[in-house]
Amino acid sequence: MKKMVAFVLMTILATNLLMAQDHVKPSLNDVPVLTKQKPKAERRWGDAGFGLGLDYGGLVGVKATFYPIPYMGVFGAVGWEMIGIGWNVGCLGRLIPANGTHTARPYLKAMYGVNGATKVTGKSGYDEMFYGFTAGIGVETRFGKHKQSGINIDLNFPFRSPEFFDQIARMKSDPELDMTQSPIPIAISIGYNFEF
Task: Name the phi and psi angles at 96, rounded to 5.
Answer: -130, 135
User: Considering the domain boundaries, does residue 64 fall inside one?
Assistant: yes
Q: What is the CATH number of the domain that holds 57?
A: 2.40.160
Q: Is residue 39 included in any domain, yes or no?
A: no
Asked whether residue 76 is assigned to any structural domain, the reply reads yes
Main-chain dihedrals φ then ψ at residue 22, nearest 5 degrees: -75, -25
10 part of a folded domain: no
Global confidence as pTM: 0.76
The residue range of the domain holding 105 is 46-195
- Cα 150 to Cα 69: distance, rounded to the nearest angstrom: 20
User: What is the per-residue pLDDT across 102-119, written as a single tens digit (0 to 9) for each?
Assistant: 999 999 999 999 999 999
Structural domain total, the chain = 1
Rounded distance between C-alpha atoms, residue 158 and residue 129, angstroms: 13
Q: Answer yes or no: is 146 within a domain.
A: yes
Instruction: Give tens-digit pLDDT for 58-77.
Output: 999 999 999 999 999 999 99
